[in-house]
Amino acid sequence: MWADIDSNRFGSTVFNTARRDSEAAVRAAVGRREFDRAYRRGGRFGLAEIVSYAIQETPPTPSGSPSRTRTTPLTPRETEVARLVADGLGNQQIADRLVIARRTAEGHVERILRKLGFTKRSQIAAWVSGSGRA
């Protein structure tokens, strides 16, 4: 993910040191060949696959290409709600648009946040914009 943001981690010594130390520890534990294989495999994951893997939801299948055809851990209805969140709608507006109760809309948003490992609606909006799936 860092490569999409800033491969130098904003020049941060803390971020770069943590990455290097973690890579060295894993490489020592599993061996260079296995580390390189896993690193390449992980590099093919899209955002949704990374999130799914991180929360141990389902074993991801890398897309193999940086195309816009990525899997999503969300249900079709949650995907619809995520799009509305990305459009800037509040819970009541989402409820009105989908003809559901406000509490139902709130529940959808809460599940989306939990599934994606986010804490803010703005993160959902960024995910929708960047994933090309939702």
Predicted pLDDT of residue 68? 42
Same domain, 37 and 81: no
* Secondary structure letter of residue 68 according to DSSP: S
Is residue 48 a contact partner of residue 26, using CB atoms and an 8 Å limit? no
CATH number at residue 120: 1.10.10.10
Is residue 60, in this structure, part of any structural domain at all? no
Is residue 58, in this structure, part of any structural domain at all? no
Is residue 53, in this structure, part of any structural domain at all? no
Rounded Cα–Cα distance for residues 88 and 18 (Å): 35
Is residue 18, in this structure, part of any structural domain at all? yes
Is residue 33, in this structure, part of any structural domain at all? yes
Provide the token pair at 14.
């803390």
pLDDT tens digits for range 4-14: 555 565 566 76
Is residue 9, in this structure, part of any structural domain at all? yes
Range of the domain at 37: 2-43
Same domain, 39 and 83: no
Q: What pTM did the predictor assign?
A: 0.48
Same domain, 36 and 81: no
Residue for token digits 């851990």? 73
Same domain, 81 and 127: yes
pLDDT in tens, the chain (134 residues): 555 555 565 566 766 787 788 889 989 998 999 988 888 887 777 777 777 777 766 554 555 444 444 467 898 899 999 999 999 999 999 999 999 999 999 999 999 999 999 999 999 999 888 764 55
> What domain count does the chain have?
2
Is residue 69, in this structure, part of any structural domain at all? no
